[in-house]
Chains A and B, each alone.
Chain A
């Protein structure tokens, strides 16, 4: 077992617990940077996809995993970011960096607008309200045809950063690095928030709004800010998604995507940044795994390729049910348990992570 000898408060504040921790994440980033040299174009495309989903997932994780506000409408903010970016860059000719940052800010602003009426809603009611938002988004994209190209859709403008052309198909390596840079920056910002007062305010609002208020944390302001930051991050993922798909229309941002995002962070592990990445990996792997399985079944049975509509969503649903039943802490929770098991070997006790019954919450204030 590792014991940290802490000699200053800074030990608990800095990004990495110790040198070993820093080395681990350093190696991980190094590996991620080297990935284009290790993978072929198809797999690199998948890796890019994972990164984009992870960015979107971090956005939702902040809101749902840390601030405790479920959203079934985050496809709307993916769309907001995607279209805002395409319009700012394509129509108004803004340079990539400016357009990209602004697109996130616009998505975040839309998020704040949504948050204000949603502040009174909790739990399932908030989920339903945001679900409605997601349903409206598709129609809105179709109706706003002069701006969004309606059903015919839009094409993502070409990226050029400091004279360097970045194109998902022409230069998949640079596009991957671009997504990686955004993912790393978002992760750092997220980590910083979690070790600062705002991150603690999020936890406070999630765990008990009443005592958050007694501590001087305003739930309304905290939730509004959480919506803003969350939707901004998801908006950036949307902008990258536009480049990733190259052409897109309303069908890209369906309710299913909203649901998939939420499933993703639950499967990955609510309340952890790792969880967003694990979840994104699952979301990317499942469709591929289904394809492989389908080909294999077709081969074995000798029949032609069978297409089962809704299979993907069904499989996600099954995975989700499996996690809720057997590992509510998600993949991140499972990984933590394994790590503790190996660190403590052979002293691990089965009950170590037994969930405690929480105390009765009736008559809270009396």
Chain B
């Protein structure tokens, strides 16, 4: 079953065409990777899906409904969560608070009951906390729960950002370079987490990643972008032997081996 459908998406920044006529589908329960050289338009694709960037033409449908009618803050409510290539956390607060903000779309109480902290608000808070604690368990974030985010090591911040996105209980998660900047061991952990996100939480994964061993280990299908165009799409093994892909990576070809 198709979960996400991108149809003929084109994005221009002035004279630069960052995405040109990109179409693909991500199925329910799939791990779908997007690879390509720097500047290929991968993050732009994510920004189109999460409405930070308006496509010149084309459409993006999630569960059959176009996302283009929603504001950037309405996308989360549909069940799409995302992380950012350069970690965007709420730095001046704790890990726990960051994850709780992930529960925002699940809140029920309006502002007045919150001001008096009505019993319903308390019950809701306890439920949110329970959900967040499950994510903390899942990602082994216990040691950092009450730490301020700003002081944490880079690798932990990456995991916290994924945790924040998962707290939302999304249907689809967009991971923008989850393993970049991680040590070999951390990247190894990331691989298992990505697999578990699908296996245990049942969340569909769309990710951008440069680490090809990670990509071929976890993903069902890989899409290769270069200069805003799709040059290959298929199972990891097929894509890596595609002549055009090797050409696009000439000079950086080592990354594909």
Contact = CB atoms under 8 A, between A and B. Distances in A.
Given A10-B122, A197-B114, A356-B151, A214 B82 contact: yes
B95 to A, nearest CB: 13
Contacts of A358: 91, 150
A198 interface: yes
Interface stretch (B60-68, B70-78, B199-207, B216-224): B70-78
B85 A215 contact: no
Interface in A247-272: 271
A266 B105 CA distance: 32
Contact of B104 (A13, A217, A360, A363): A217
Nearest to A207: B90
Contacts of A225: 111
Interface string B78-92: 000110111111111
B43 A365 contact: yes
A196 B101 contact: no
A5 interface: no
Contacts of A219: 73
Interface SS majority for chain B = helix
Count class of interface residues, chain B = 35 or more
Interface string A210-239: 111111111100000100000000000000
B109 interface: yes
Interface stretch (A43-51, A82-90, A187-195, A309-317): A187-195
Contacts of B87: 359
A274 interface: no
Among B74, B92, B130, chain A packs the most CB atoms within 10 A around the CB of: B92
A201 B101 contact: yes
Contact of B88 (A195, A271, A364): A364
5 contacts: A197-B103, A204-B104, A211-B88, A216-B74, A364-B84
Interface of B: 43-44, 47, 50, 52, 71-77, 81-82, 84-93, 96-97, 100-105, 107, 109, 111, 114-117, 121-122, 125-126, 129-130, 133, 150-151, 154, 164-165, 168
Interface of A: 8-10, 12-13, 189, 192-193, 195-201, 203-204, 206-208, 210-219, 225, 271, 356, 358-361, 363-366
